[in-house]
Amino acid sequence: MGVRFSPQLIDEIKSRVNIVEIVGQYVSLRPSGRNYVGLCPFHSEKTPSFTVSPDKQLFHCFGCQTGGDVFAFLMKRTGISFSEAVQQLAQRAGIDLERLVHSPVDAARERRRQQLLEINRLASGFFRQMLHGPAGAAARDYLARRAIQPAMVERYQLGFAPAGDVFARFLAKQGVSPELAVEAGLLLPGRDGRPPYPRFRERLMFPIADQAGRVIGFGGRLLVDRAGAPKYLNSPETPLFSKGRVLYGLHLAREAARKTGVVIVVEGYMDCISLCQHGVPNVVASLGTAFTDMQAQALARVAERVVIAFDADAAGQAAARRTLDILRKAGLRVAVMQLPIGQDPDEFARRHGPEAVARAVAGAVPLVEYKLQQVLPVTGAVSVEAKARAVEAALAVIAEVESAVEQEGYMELVARRLGVSMDTLRVEMARISGNDHAGPARHRMGKIRHNNRGFPGEQGEQTSRGGRAAGGDRLLGAEQVVLRHILAGDSPARVLAELDGPDVWSSPVVAGAVRLLAGRPAGAVQDPAAWLLGLPDTAEANWLREVWAQGALAEVPWQEALHSLKQERIRQRLASLERQLSALEVEGGAGAGMLARLLVEYKRLRSDLFGA
Ligand SMILES: [Zn+2]
């Protein structure tokens, strides 16, 4: 819902509900000493290792190590979000959330969200009607060519956006203001004084829904040739829709994913629908190529295992870019479904049918194995140099595995494939993980990453769960990218100067890290790793080492990261102004001058941010 809950409210709710009672609705519990035990709902077991402690108001499973408070239980068991869990439990506890969390500004924002939801609902209905009417013939042809059945058209609520301004006229007739339709991302502002016109024209429409199944945005596939127009177009970022937060089809896949413990992730809308039609209802599509933490967490709430079904090239790239590691970090087991080169999941499903799809899902290889396949040569007859390179690359993959037993198993596999003895591999492994000159940097950084999943600056940041974390994550990401570029010496020094200021950085640790960077000697730019290693063992230096170790982040251009960093600052300032404004509104008459001053700043910042 986008509302923020104070820690006091969370504690209040916890103190008023009984975790034993809530968990007891889903798990049959029996008393055991001070606690209650039962069969774990998160993994399959015959003897109970799932424990609920009424004293601590926590649950824990000794079998699968799942645990947490009553909110965590509901989120994991029913797939709802944190704020939905808060709302459910507040209602149960008889706490009036509306009154507590809705300041005047929040209430206005909530009304706006409801209006935007309503427009999306209207739009979705209109597009569906168009698909089945005379205008939708081309779209129906396209669906027939792709062999999409009516049941899937219904399930995914597919539609058609007609040419011209038919849709704009429809909205006007429904009494929707053009301004609101622009904010919803459905109309584009008209150029040269002309009225706003539809963003989606002559496109097959895929409504994108939230967890509750409400339409929050659209994807559209162009059905005609139009110069300069992209084949696929998504809704822009709106107060409802954020690409990094949603997964296409998740609300439809949830039930089947929970039943099987597996969710299949594809890239495109058509891949998703096609797999569903071919017997895989637990399928979602990632709307971009790189996963976000938020998407990974959404998946972790419905399944333990993720099978990536990208086409061969994309899967390779995703693995190389560590996007799959984001899923792993969310506690998911990741496997890669292997498709014939040049075939996407849709094509594969249509050509080979449901049985082949089921076999491919079942035969998905674990992430580590997949990465090993990428680096090991196909045949045994390779040069000594190629063998040495393959050993090094393979051991780097194996070094990421946490279990020593699994490491040993994978090393045996490599030994067999490359015709190298286990002793040789052990010596090599020891060398790359810390006994020679090149080793320490990697080893040390790996260790930091492992021990310290959150960044040092993150701890003090999350004063409330849910709402606050989102902005924090985005900000941390941008900060890391900017600093990584500065470390690598590929952004000009003036970037640092531009970011100088008391509250530019998210925490004192990051600010300290920036000071370290600003004061580094000239030689540090040539060899950042050596400089970083020479730094003392402080939180600031560790933060920088961690940033350096996250090499893949640097794929985002620094200009882009810098931009989002600044935007986030403005957003935070806006939020703080909104709080001050609503406080003044509550106070009434007093502080009229203050109110005027804040409003001026508020308007200026909003126009900075939205260009309005
Ligand atoms: Zn368990």
- Domain-wise residue ranges, the chain: 7-100, 104-234, 247-371, 376-436, 452-612
Give the model's confidence band at 609: pLDDT under 50 very low, under 70 low, under 90 confident, else very high: low
Residue 243's pLDDT is what? 84
Which tokens hold the place of 82?
A: 């944190």
The answer to whether the Cα torsion of 37, 39, 45, 51 is positive or negative is negative
Residue 393 pLDDT exceeds 60? yes
Tokens of 573: 């300032």
Per DSSP, which regions of 223-353 are E strands?
232-234, 247-248, 262-266, 283-286, 305-308, 333-336
Report how far ligand 1's centroid is from the alpha carbon of 46 (Å): 11
- The 10s digit of each residue's pLDDT in 125-178 is 999 999 999 999 999 999 999 999 999 999 999 999 999 999 999 999 999 999
**Of all residues in the chain, what percent carry a pLDDT higher than 90?**
25
Task: Give the CATH fold of the 104-234 domain.
Answer: DNA primase DNAg catalytic core, N-terminal domain (3.90.980)
How would you write 373-438 as a 3-class SS string?
Answer: HHHCCCCCCCCHHHHHHHHHHHHHHHHCCCCHHHHHHHHHHHHHHHCCCHHHHHHHHHHHHHHCCC
SS3 category, 347: helix
In eight-state DSSP terms, residue 231 is S
> Topology of domain 7-100, per CATH?
DNA Primase; Chain A (3.90.580)
Distance 45 CA to ligand 1 centre (A): 8
Distance in Å, CA 305 to ligand 1 centroid: 14
Question: How far apart are the CA of 59 and the centre of ligand 1, in A?
Answer: 10
pLDDT number for residue 315: 67
What separation in Å is there between the alpha carbon of 39 and the centre of ligand 1?
A: 8
Q: What are phi and psi of 390, to 5 degrees?
A: -65, -40
1: pLDDT strictly greater than 60: no
283 CA to centre of ligand 1 in angstroms: 24
User: From CA 442, how far away is CA 449, in angstroms rounded?
Assistant: 11
Distance from Cα 43 to the centre of ligand 1, integer Å: 5
Cα of 490 to ligand 1 centre, how many Å? Answer: 47
Q: Which is higher by pLDDT, 532 or 572?
A: 532
Higher pLDDT, 560 or 22: 22
Mean pLDDT of 278-304: 85
> What is the distance in A from the centroid of ligand 1 to the CA of 38?
10
Q: Give the whole-angstrom CA distance, residue 191 versus residue 195.
A: 8
Provide mean pLDDT across the span 231-252.
Answer: 90
What architecture (CATH level 2) is domain 247-371? Answer: 3-Layer(aba) Sandwich (3.40)
If you measure from the C-alpha of residue 293 to the centroid of ligand 1, how many angstroms do you get, rounded to a whole number? 23
**Res. 551: pLDDT tops 90:** no
State the residue for tokens 């569906």. 128
pLDDT given at position 278: 94
Residues 6 or more apart in contact with residue 273 via CB below 8 angstroms = 148, 152, 156, 158, 249
User: Quick one: average pLDDT of 260-273?
Assistant: 92
Q: What is the mean pLDDT of residues 526-535?
A: 77
pLDDT at 147: 92
Question: pLDDT tens digits for 120-140?
Answer: 999 999 999 999 999 999 999
Please tell me the distance from the alpha carbon of residue 208 to that of residue 216, in angstroms, as a whole number.
6
Q: What angle do CA 354, 355, 361 make, to 5 degrees?
A: 85
Please give the distance, rounded to the nearest whole angstrom, from the Cα atom of residue 64 to the centre of ligand 1: 4
Q: Which of 76-90, 380-394, 430-444, 513-527 has the highest mean pLDDT?
A: 76-90
Residue 387: partners with Cβ closer than 8 Å, 6 or more residues away? 377, 418, 419, 420
Rounded distance from Cα 180 to ligand 1 centre (Å):
47
Pair of tokens at residue 552: 């893949």
Distance 48 CA to ligand 1 centre (A): 9
Cβ atoms within 10 Å of 172's Cβ, excluding its own: 15
Distance 299 CA to ligand 1 centre (A): 18
What is the rounded average pLDDT of the residues 246-262?
A: 89
Tell me what pLDDT residue 439 has.
Answer: 33
- Ligand 1 ion: Cβ-proximal residues, 5 Å cutoff: 40, 42-43, 61, 63-64
pLDDT at 537: 75
